[in-house]
Structure 1
Amino acid sequence: MDKEIMVSWIEEGMIHVPNLLMNNYRQIGLDEKELVVLLHIFSFSEKGNKFPTPEEISERMTITSSECASILRKLMQLGMIKIEEGCSEEEIRFERYSLTPLWIRLAEEMIREKKQSNLEKVLTEEQDLFSIFEQEFGRPLTPIECESLGMWMDQDGQDPVMIKAALRESVMSGKLNFRYIDRILLEWKKNGVNTVEQARVQGLKFRQKSKQTNPPVQNSNSVPFFNWLEQ
């Protein structure tokens, strides 16, 4: 998600700020006193007081106005808040606290957490993928086979879900080898197949075409076809 969009959502009140701060203040380098001071600045701002004094903030807390002033200076040094100058319609100059730097830090943290979560998901999927291949082949993969798996994901941009689907297709076709799996993936990519459902449809079309070309031999001991895509 775009950082600027997230910041605008926060400023427009679409994201609950107190919860957001409570959940992320440690990750962005704040302690509890700094958190509470920021929450009070936000609260004063919501009520129309854009530039509360250290005395006004400390009256709501268990710290002195001097300690509050020190915390405010540190928050500005950390780049969490800044003081802006403005001018009213009556041309009266005024100062106010801007929390936009804080919103930017929070947005960056949320994006970082999402990327980390996605990375962990990808690593888990890749690890599971290698395990599934070794289970199907009944042996450890060779270095060349591991390299092929990595190339499918890194260079070709193949989704692990689709690689797993191609593996199962090769198993059901009785052609368990990397060359055949590679052909399946290339064919799917060529035809714009990028979901398991699309792969199922593609497989059905292929099997129907194969049946028309090569009518099946009747055999009382034949085993019904197992369609893994419907599992």
Structure 2
Amino acid sequence: MDKDIIVSWMEAGMIQVPNLLLQKYKQIGLDEKELALLFHIMSFIESGNGFPTPEQLAERMTINTSECSTQLRKLVQMQFLSIEEGMSEDGIHFETYSISPLWVRLADELQFEKKQSDLKHTLHEENNLYTIFEQEFGRPLSPMECENLAMWLDDDGQDPVLIKAALREAVLAGKLSFRYIDRILFNWKRNGVRTIEQARMQGIQFRQKSKQPTRSASEESSKTIPFYNWLEP
């Protein structure tokens, strides 16, 4: 291959396009023509022309100048593209396109998808929570007990994982009641417990305090209380 051709390719420069943009452009409201137009604007900016004319852009595309102008206005109105003003060192005002709004829209889409995923996970955890409680209690929960669960989730903002851990702690202690579980959750919240690991450590500390020897026999004092691993399913 002619070395001059390779040199010309390198001198023409390249534009970097995030894979996420190719994956999500439809979700954020772009079609293929609008995406291609944005790519050409990026290319012009990369080559030093920050404000290409509709004529210049249309020359590279299969749309005419009028349609290109319409598409540019649409991209600005839909906040995928913005026109910014600047001033050169010799005091001359100029305009340039900015692709920053496109990245903001893409980031907003990713944030929205994460919130939707988190909400779906939370709803699954909450539904699963009622099932676990009914399994442990061996019966359907009463309306008052369902209200208590809803209060822990909605009013107190308790993590379903911590509620499960408190339930297991109550099972371990042989005190399976909503009042006892509520007491555990209250103490954890007061002590700043927010993760399953912190809850596990609180349980260990509580059991260590509770296993004081009641008789003087050395063999009695050597007995230990079984450890319940909340991390196991």
Common fold by TM > 0.5: yes
Q: How does 1:1-231 map to 2 (within 5 A)?
A: 17-212=17-212, 214=214, 225=226, 227-229=228-230, 231=232
Give the deviation of 1:226 after TM superposition: 5.3
Pairwise CA distance, 1:177: 1.2
CA distance in 2, matches of 1:44, 1:214: 83
How many residues of Structure 1 are paired with residues of Structure 2 in the alignment? 214
Q: Deviations over 1:49-88 (max 9, x none)?
A: 1011223323333323332222112212323223233221
Mapped partners of 1:206, 1:83: distance in 2: 63
TM-score, L = length of structure 1: 0.81
**Structure 2 CA distance, aligned partners of 1:230 and 1:69?**
60
Q: Distance in 1 between matches of 2:192 and 2:83?
A: 53
Q: What corresponds to 1:9 in structure 2?
A: none
Bigger shift: residues 155-164 or 22-31: 22-31
Between the aligned partners of 1:86 and 1:191, the Cα distance in structure 2 is 54
Contact 1:21 1:35 in 2 (8 A): no
Cα deviation for residue 199 of structure 1 reads 2.2
Is the contact between residue 172 and residue 226 of structure 1 (CA under 8 Å) also seen in structure 2?
Answer: no
Partner deviation per Cα, 1:134-181 (whole Å, 9 max, x = no partner): 111122211111111111121112111111001011111111111111
Q: Which runs of 5+ in 2 are unaligned?
A: 1-15
Distance in 1, matches of 2:58 and 2:179, equals 71
Distance 1:46 1:30 in 2: 22
Q: 1:166, 1:184 within 8 Å by CA — same for their partners in 2?
A: yes
- Give TM-score, length-normalised by structure 2: 0.80
Write out per-residue CA displacement over residues 31-58 of structure 1, whole angstroms, 9 at most, x where no aligned residue: 1111111121122212221011223323
Cα distance 1:227–1:68, how it changes in 2: closer, same or farther (>3 A)? same
Over aligned residue pairs, what C-alpha RMSD do you find? 2.7
Q: Secondary structure at the residue paired with 2:83?
A: strand
**Could you say what secondary structure the match of 1:117 adopts?**
helix
Larger radius of gyration: 2
Q: Which runs of 5+ in 1 are unaligned?
A: 1-15
The amino acid that maps onto 1:134 is E
